[in-house]
Amino acid sequence: MEANDRNIKNEIHEKLSDEVLRGALGRFAEAYPVARAKAYENVEDIDALREQVRRMKAGAVADIDKLADRFEAEAVKRGARVFRAKDGAALKKYLLDLCREKGVNRIVKSKSMAAEEIHLNRDLEADGLQVKETDLGEWIISLAGQKPSHMVMPAIHLNRQQIAGYFSQELKQEIPTDIPFMVEAARTRLRQEFLQADMGISGANFGIAENGAIGLVTNEGNARLVTTLPRIHVVIIGYEKLIPTIKDAAPILRTLPRNATGQLMTSYMSMVAGVTPIMVRKNGKWVEEDKELHIILFDNGRLNAARDDKFKQIYQCVRCASCLNVCPVYTLVGGHVYGHIYAGGIGAILTAFLNSMGDFEKFNELCIGCRKCVEICPGKIDIPGLIEELRARAVKEHGLPFAVSTVFENVISNRRVFHTFLRLASIGQKPFQTGRLIRHLPLFMAGMTKDRSLPAIAAEPLRDRIPKITAQVTKPVKRVAFFCGCNIDFVFPETGESVYKVLQDLNMEVVFPDEQSCCGKPVLGMGDRETGRKIAKQNIAAFEAAAPDVIVAACPTCAETWHQTYGELFTDDPAWKKRAEKIAHKVREFTSFVAGCYRQAGRLKQVDGPTAVTYHDSCHIKRGLGIYREPRELLAAASAYQLVEMKDCDKCCGMAGAFGIKYAELSMPILKQKITNIIDSGAAVVAVACPACMMQIQGGLDKQAPHIKIKHVADILAEKV
């Protein structure tokens, strides 16, 4: 294992054993969706509001240079001085020179992630300046000597006992754990800082090109004091915060508080435009002077992102951090695991552009691709997709580790070698196999089966069973080619048989192109697009030769890969792109396809049976393909079952391909919560439409609730065929 892997593993283990952090994040993760839903209950069309944010921000980045020019001109017209800082070094030099020129000794700051991004306080203090954070959360973590663990709530990982300890040490008196008392103590202590400060430094939630104003959305009054009391106000604002007009602030103000903290509006909404007169004491007399306003327009990699066709999408971020609030990994370990200032999936992308690709590569695998962040993001940013793009660029630049690339290039991309390897593995697993499961592994592999059993590879894969299960269908209504994927072929061949039964019962001719192989998602997910293209070409050619009317996949990950990835793999090869898009157009996910057929045949009538069944939405089927109603309709129509919903039915099970094995210590807590929700539903059966989820949940049930069975929707439908 490489040093980076060891370091992040150590950090993960430390955070997983931190009961305070786990408790704080767990409570917040539980409360947040309820608070957000309540905040949006009077918004008629949330998606339309999100689309408004997306369009406005996408339009802004498309015209970013003109927008910046206009913002600067309007700000200067109103008395501000604007400096464009290319990077952190330029920003710090400007600021330090300004402090020396103006005789600044004391600085107060309100919250600014851009300042955190370049460790600004450290350099200011090294130059002899006294710098005080005045945002309560930022002040707390500065006392703790830590960095933020969340973009909106920087001290979310601490509890009141820890905070009282930091306060007691700073204030040199015993501070009780009473929250109102601590807030009042902080207010009293910091008030003198505002009055004595020569300079106030703030960030900005947005900058308006129309009038050169900045907007600050806060829950504490400190930002107003920072921007008004000191004689010099310095604003640090990234290019991504620029918007065209004051009207464009409206969708941000409607989404940012709701998504960030579940509020309709924050306590304070401030606009700062131009300079204002202030009273200063000179030679024993109070005199009126114009306050100085300096605006630093900060690049530090932001303009590179703006000019990148794919990554200009990050300008749609409003910094609400809602993506962190729903991330299964973040809500387990918090933000410090991510190494740099920005945490979570969006943090990985920002780190790549604002810090370095090297730092991105250290923790990019912590994104499990569940797409919960995409579902909730006000700007509709495809965070997992952008992370995969960065992985692909990293692989293109310096390749994969030798062992991984050898397996990808010589095994997975070669169907015969890959399938021979799986057949041999089915023999080699026998000493550890109990029935269809592997419950215990020896030595250093023991941890893999500590909290879940692993699926055994089938002795006879689906492809060997095809001649026995293929029925002669007279006058078929459709010719269907079945893309089974690796899991159904070699782990759950019985589910493949169920698919055949259901489709043949619908009077369809089902064919199995023998040259089909893995869809390529494991390879593509790690950024190896060259091998991914080889695999895609094999599959495209195999299914073209079958000449089907429809291609059915009972694995939503495979269906999504065909639909959303194959065409993109050949952007530089028009001929293959055309072939990929033409064949992908025929691909259908099993449950949605069958539900359509049943509906047409009048077979979707709800019938309550004696057996309670609950349904787990896989990430790829619900948020990747947008399919969630159809599996439930099929289950409700299954005469032997009665559908009951579990809590958090669409929350990730923690599998996420290789993540579930490499980061088992993270995968297992996510799985345990899923198993708890299944048990609490009271169901005797849990249904899934994804074989990867079936592997994960089956393993967890075997350890925690062996009385509950797991079945693919196809298996349930096949029972009455």
What angle is formed at CA 664 by the lines to CA 645 and CA 434, rounded to 5 degrees? 80
* Among 187-196, 281-290, 297-306, 663-672, the least confident range: 281-290
| pLDDT at 254 > cutoff 80 | yes
Structure confidence at residue 423 (pLDDT): 84
pLDDT in tens, 422-453: 888 888 877 887 777 787 766 555 566 677 88
Contacts of 122 (CB under 8 A, 6+ apart): none
Structure confidence at residue 447 (pLDDT): 61
pLDDT in tens, 613-641: 999 999 999 999 999 999 999 999 988 99
Computed on alpha carbons and rounded to an integer, the radius of gyration of the chain in Å comes to: 29
Phi, psi of 603 (to 5 degrees): -110, 15
Whole-number Å distance between alpha carbons of 673 and 327: 14
pLDDT in tens, 567-581: 999 999 999 999 999
- How many percent of the chain have pLDDT more than 70? 98
CA distances from 664 to 438, 561, 592, 658, 659 (A): 16, 25, 32, 9, 7
Within 10 Å of residue 148's Cβ, how many Cβ atoms?
23
Q: Where are the domains of the chain?
A: 64-298, 433-593, 603-718
Report the top-level CATH class of 603-718. alpha beta
* Among 67-76, 284-293, 476-485, the least confident range: 284-293
Structure confidence at residue 1 (pLDDT): 39
Structure confidence at residue 450 (pLDDT): 74
Counting every residue, how long is the chain?
721
Instruction: Please give the average per-residue pLDDT across 140-166, as a whole number.
Output: 93
Instruction: Note whether 41 and 47 are within 8 A (CB).
Output: no
64-298 and 603-718 in the same fold: yes
Structure confidence at residue 462 (pLDDT): 95
Instruction: Please give the average per-residue pLDDT across 229-240, as a whole number.
Output: 96
Report the top-level CATH class of 64-298. alpha beta
Instruction: Please give the average per-residue pLDDT across 602-609, as a whole number.
Output: 90
Structure confidence at residue 420 (pLDDT): 86
Contacts of 354 (CB under 8 A, 6+ apart): 117, 300, 301, 302, 342
Q: Which two tokens stand for residue 612?
A: 């309670």
Whole-number Å distance between alpha carbons of 142 and 155: 10
pLDDT in tens, 384-418: 999 999 999 999 988 888 788 888 887 887 888 88
Contacts of 692 (CB under 8 A, 6+ apart): 487, 555, 557, 618, 655, 657
pLDDT in tens, 476-504: 999 999 999 999 999 999 999 999 999 99
Phi, psi of 319 (to 5 degrees): 60, 40
* Among 452-456, 541-545, 668-672, the least confident range: 452-456
Instruction: Please give the average per-residue pLDDT across 532-539, as a whole number.
Output: 96
Mean pLDDT of the chain: 93
Contacts of 272 (CB under 8 A, 6+ apart): 213, 214, 216, 227, 233, 235, 293
Nearest to 344 by CA among 357, 333, 355, 356: 333
Whole-number Å distance between alpha carbons of 388 and 368: 11
Nearest to 678 by CA among 713, 642, 653, 715: 653
Nearest to 137 by CA among 117, 113, 114: 113
Beta strands 213-218 and 641-643 are unpaired
Whole-number Å distance between alpha carbons of 304 and 591: 43
Confidence tier at 286 by pLDDT (50, 70, 90): confident
Confidence tier at 4 by pLDDT (50, 70, 90): low
Name residue, tokens 């998602």.
521
Of residues 443 and 261, the one with the higher pLDDT is 261
Structure confidence at residue 441 (pLDDT): 67
- The full DSSP string for 22-65 is HHHHHHHHHHHHHHHHHHTTT-S-HHHHHHHHHHHHHHHHHTHH
Name residue, tokens 């159809």.
630
Instruction: Please give the average per-residue pLDDT across 51-60, as a whole number.
Output: 97
CA distances from 454 to 4, 96, 420, 440, 700 (A): 27, 59, 20, 9, 9
